[in-house]
């Protein structure tokens, strides 16, 4: 009985160790790829237009400010207003 128990503990240790090492390698490789991409492949910068209200078809700056602030609140600052259409 003790031999089986020792074998089970050995297999448990080897299995958990293998999983730990593989997960560590996945995290390490993932972070390395992210750093590489951010360093050598920059995101294309968009052209900033001076008169955003005329581009989006809104004549009132108050309405534009309200829409932009609502989008920022809902998306947590990650969203950008690119077009507004009245439908």
Distance between CA 85 and CA 68 in Å, rounded? 14
40 plus 77 within the same structural domain = no
Residue 41: DSSP 8-state: S
Q: Which residues constitute the domain of residue 85?
A: 46-87
Q: Are residues 5 and 36 in the same domain?
A: yes
CA distance from start to end of the chain:
76
Pair (56, 85) in one structural domain:
yes
Q: Are residues 52 and 27 in the same domain?
A: no
- The tokens for 20 are 């730990």
Per-residue confidence (pLDDT) for residue 33, from 0 to 100: 95
> For 29-43, what is each residue's pLDDT tens digit?
999 999 999 888 877
For residue 56, the model assigns a pLDDT of 55
Number of other CB atoms surrounding residue 42 within 10 Å:
8
- Regarding whether 52 and 32 lie in a shared domain, the answer is no
In eight-state DSSP terms, residue 45 is: P
Tell me which residues of the chain have a pLDDT lower than 70.
1, 44-59, 86-87
Pair 58, 37 in one domain: no
38, 52: one domain: no
**Structural domains in the chain (count):** 2
Entry pTM: 0.46
């Amino acid at each position: 009985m003790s031999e089986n128990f020792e074998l089970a503990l050995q297999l448990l240790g080897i299995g958990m160790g293998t999983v730990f090492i593989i997960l560590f390698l996945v995290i390490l490789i993932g972070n390395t790829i992210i750093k590489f991409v951010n360093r050598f492949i920059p995101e294309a910068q968009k052209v900033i237009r001076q008169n955003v209200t005329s581009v989006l078809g809104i004549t009132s700056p108050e309405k534009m400010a309200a829409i932009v602030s609502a989008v920022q609140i809902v998306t947590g600052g990650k969203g950008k207003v690119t077009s507004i259409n009245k439908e």
